[in-house]
Amino acid sequence: MPSKQNYPCIVSFQSSDLSELSVPICLGWSLSDGQYKCITIIPEDEWLDGIDQGEYNLEDLFDFGVTAQDLIKELNQDCDKQIIYSSDPAWLDDVLNCLYSSIEQPHPFQIESVFDLFENHDYQTIVDTSTELYLELGLAPLEPEDQIKMWLHLYNELILN
C-alpha cells in the first residue's frame, strides 16, 4: 500500500468499444500529489479498424490527441516504478499492451485492483461510498477523468483522513 503522504497511481481509460478489437481512446492517471492527467490518444494506423467512426470523431482524436509514443513517455515519467491501480486490471493490461505495441515493447507496470487500496474496508462500504461520491460530486462513472477524481476522493476520505 502506498505511503499515506502520497496518492497512489490510479489509471483509468476509455476504449473504442467493448470488443476484442477495442483500442484506447483516452488514458488518465493520478499523480502522487493528488493531481491527475487525462489524455486523448491519436489512434495508430493499425487501430483505425477498431474505432466505430459513428461514435467517435476521428478528426477530434487527431486534433486534440497525442501519439501513443508521447503518451507512453509521459506515463513512464509520472508512474515509473510504481504499482498502478485500476478498477479493471485485466482490461487495463490489454489497453497498455495495445499502447506499448506501438513502440514494440511490453508495458513495465504491475497492475493491481484499486480495491486493494482499501483492504481495511469492506467491499460494500467502498461501493456505497463511491456511488455517493459520483452523485455528490456530479461525476460521470464512465468518464476516465471522473473515475480518477472519484477514486482520489475516496482514497482521501477512507485512507488519508
Residue 102 has a pLDDT of 93
Question: Which of 32-36, 54-58, 68-72, 116-120 is predicted least confidently?
Answer: 54-58
Query: Can you say how many angstroms the Cα of residue 95 is from the centroid of all Cα atoms in its chain?
Result: 10
Q: Which CATH number fits domain 9-115: 3.30.420.10, 3.10.450.50, 3.30.310.50, 3.30.2130.30?
A: 3.30.420.10
The answer to which of 41-55, 93-107, 111-125, 146-160 has the lowest mean pLDDT is 41-55
CA distance 90 to 111: 8
Q: Are 148 and 134 in contact (CB under 8 A)?
A: no
CA dist., res. 153 & res. 137, Å (int): 10
pTM of the model: 0.90
C-alpha distance from residue 91 to each of 61, 86, 108, 121 (Å): 21, 9, 16, 24
* Domain regions of the chain by residue span: 9-115
CA dist 61 and 83 (Å) reads 29
pLDDT tens profile 60-92: 889 999 999 999 999 999 999 899 999 999 999
Is the per-residue pLDDT at 40 higher than 80? yes
Q: Is the pLDDT of residue 2 over 60?
A: no
Q: Determine the Cα–Cα distance for residues 148 and 18; give it in Å rounded to an integer.
A: 20
**For the segment 115-149, what is each residue's pLDDT rounded down to a tens digit?**
999 999 999 999 999 999 999 999 999 999 999 99
Nearest Cα residue to 103 out of 133, 60, 73, 143: 73
Residues 56-63: what's their mean pLDDT? 85
CA distance 161 to 146: 21
- Predicted local confidence at residue 59, as pLDDT: 87
Q: Which residues of 79-114 are buried (b: 16+ CB within 10 A; e: fewer)?
A: beeeebbbbebeebebbbebbbebeeeebebebeeb
